Structures are given as C-alpha cells and as structure tokens.
Amino acid sequence: MALAREEIDRIAQASANELINNLHRYALTYQDPKTIPQGLNQSMGEELTAANWYRQRAKHARSKGDNKTAELYEEIAREEDEHYVSFNQRLDQIPQER
C-alpha cells in the first residue's frame, strides 16, 4: 500500500523534529566525529535542521505579510537541501569504515 502525501509529510516532519531535538543537545560545542561517514551524517542532519528552520521562518514572515523575506528564507532552505544532497552523494562514494 502506497503512502499518501499527507502521511509522507507527517513522517518527514517527525524526522526533522527528531533531528532538531538531537542537534540542540550538542549544537553549542563541536566534537570531532569518530568516522568520516559519521561526520557526513551529522552534516546532513544539520542541513535538514537548517532547512526546516528557514522554512518555519518563511512561514512566519509570510503570515506577517513579508513575502520578500519569506522568499529569501525559502531560497536559502533550497540551498541547504542541495548541501544535504552533496553530503549524501559523498557518503555514497566513500568506504564506510573511515
């Protein structure tokens, strides 16, 4: 059975919220990852979190009638999405034991 778009959106939002909660635990201090893949995964989480926050801010700006700021936030969120894809592609290219 295929998932409905609404269900996919709920799963995506729940995943983003989980990433945000995890990021808040260690966002104030940097720790070297144990492996290169772990660092890439952490970076992917950070990009997802940033994109989510920008989209939330765009929604807020739009609700206040500031479409230009909303569009800026949405543009930057798309750039964060591209960063996520780049990290994911690199992750697929390297040996996992590093």
**For residue 28, pLDDT beyond 80:** no
pTM: predicted TM-score of the whole model, two decimal places: 0.69
Query: Which residue's structure tokens are 């959106």?
Result: 9
**For residue 24, pLDDT beyond 70:** no
Note whether residue 25 is domain-resident: no
What would the pLDDT profile of 9-21 be if each residue is shown by its tens digit?
777 787 777 777 6
Note whether residue 22 is domain-resident: no
Cβ-contact 70, 58 below 8 angstroms: yes
Note whether residue 95 is domain-resident: yes
Q: How far apart are CA 94 and CA 89, in angstroms?
A: 9
Question: For a pLDDT cut of 70, what percent of the chain falls above it?
Answer: 87
Q: Is 3 left (phi over 0), alpha (psi -120 to 50) or beta?
A: beta
Q: Which residue has the higher pLDDT, 32 or 24?
A: 32
Looking at the 3D structure of the chain, how many domains does it have?
A: 1
Note whether residue 79 is domain-resident: yes
Note whether residue 17 is domain-resident: no
